[in-house]
Structure 1
Amino acid sequence: MKLTLSIFFLVLLFTACEVKPQKINYGSDNCQYCNMTIVDRQHASQIVTEKGRSYKFDAIECMINYHTEHSDQSVAMYLVNDFNTPGKLIDATTATYLISPEISSPMGANLSAFNSKQVAQKTQAEYSGKLYDWEVLRLYLKEKY
């Protein structure tokens, strides 16, 4: 009995701190930064800390601004939704970003993420705008906001 109880608590401990993304419940989850309801499957994002805590955002700029204000948190994953595959989270650090006045996003930055640079360039050719990688985008938003 004692061994079974010990095993149960060990399993509970390891599963409670699992570092993985959490499902975004569109229409009911709120943005950690601006508190708006997350409804847009093309622009939502998420931070997962090294302790396994998940923070969900309605827009990429909310995620970046939140982390700028909470830089003491150790982040395991930055995730963004792929514009062309709504609802699919991809690694934010390897994504390519497009800011285009022709593509609206929830907080008005007109910022979208793409899984590949080629797809982002094709979208840019269709809608105009400027492309960014993760590091340049973070610097740009830090200066802008």
Structure 2
Amino acid sequence: MKKLSFLFLFVLTLVSCSMEKQPIAYGEDSCDFCKMTIVDQIHGAELLTDKGKVYKFDALECMLNFEAEMGKEKAGQFYTNHFLSPGELIRAEEASFLITENIPSPMGEFITAFPSQKEAEKVQAEKDGEVYTWGALKKQQNQ
């Protein structure tokens, strides 16, 4: 009986610590940085810590600001919604980002994600602005 109980607790621990993104409940979930309700399905974001805790944000800049203020916790994975398929979360590290005042965002920094640089540049041709990689965006935001 003890072995069965131990096995159950072990499996429960593994499941509860999984590194999985979670869907954002738009209109219900609140941003873990600014506390606003997350409603914009193009600009939402999500951060998973290296221990599997999930934080949700209404905009990329909230996620970046939150990461900068994290204490002992370490960020593990970053996800972002994107312009071409609202509500879908993609890996931020693989995305490209357009900053243009012609696409409003919830916190007013005008950062919009795209699944590829090619797609970001297509919209840039119409809406102006600057295209960034994830690394370049993080550097630009930390200045």
Match of 1:14 in 2: 14
Distance 1:5 1:54 in 2: 28
Distance 1:123 1:57 in 2: 24
Between 64-73 and 33-42, the greater mean CA deviation after superposition: 64-73
1:124 alignment partner AA = Q
Match of 1:119 in 2: 119
Q: CA RMSD in A?
A: 1.1
Displaced runs of 4 or more, over 6 A: none
Distance 2:62 2:76 in 1: 18
1:112 alignment partner AA = T
Q: How does 1:1-145 map to 2 (within 5 A)?
A: 1-70=1-70, 72-143=72-143
Gaps of 5+ in 1: none
Q: Secondary structure at the match of 2:93?
A: coil
Gaps of 5+ in 2: none
Q: TM-score, normalised by structure 2?
A: 0.95
Q: TM-score, normalised by structure 1?
A: 0.94
Distance 2:76 2:138 in 1: 17
Identity of counterpart residues, as a percentage? 41
Give 1:72 deviation, angstroms.
Answer: 3.7
